[in-house]
């Protein structure tokens, strides 16, 4: 796939998110809108989350962002906090949202030692 095609696809997905989202969690489907939601997923070593658009996975996050290695979230609640933050950033225009260490700290995400 060319860079232009990837950019066009990303723009289409972002447009769907902006139209469909008013926040994190599960979005109520109104006439003409695409359903968007965040759900937890249990992994062998902890928790992750999936952001879906129109019932199809858009982001599958199996580790805590910004950390070296593949550390899963310690709890379902931690995974959903970060998933909701990422979704809200997407609604504000970040196609692939970045989560900072400061944001992880402010959300009180448990960081493995």
pLDDT at 100 over 70: yes
* Domain around 96: 3-106
Q: Rounded to whole angstroms, what are the CA distances from 106 to 4, 6, 89, 101? A: 36, 33, 16, 9
Closest C-alpha among 99, 98, 97, 96 to residue 109:
99
In a domain, 111, yes or no: no
Domain count across the chain: 1
pTM of full prediction above 0.85: no
pLDDT at 13 over 50: no
pLDDT at 40 over 90: yes
In a domain, 100, yes or no: yes
Instruction: Tell me the pLDDT band of 85, cut-offs 50, 70 and 90.
Output: very high
In a domain, 112, yes or no: no
């Amino acid at each position: 796939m060319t860079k232009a095609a990837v950019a066009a696809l990303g723009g289409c997905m972002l447009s769907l998110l902006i139209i469909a989202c008013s926040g994190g969690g599960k979005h109520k489907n109104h006439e003409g809108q695409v359903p968007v939601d965040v759900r937890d997923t249990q992994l062998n070593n902890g928790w992750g989350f999936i952001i879906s658009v129109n019932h199809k996975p858009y982001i599958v996050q199996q580790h805590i962002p910004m950390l070296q290695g593949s550390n899963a979230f310690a709890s379902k609640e931690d995974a959903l906090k970060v998933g909701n933050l990422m979704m809200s950033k997407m609604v504000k225009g970040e196609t692939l949202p970045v989560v900072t260490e400061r944001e992880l700290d402010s959300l009180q995400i448990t960081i493995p030692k």
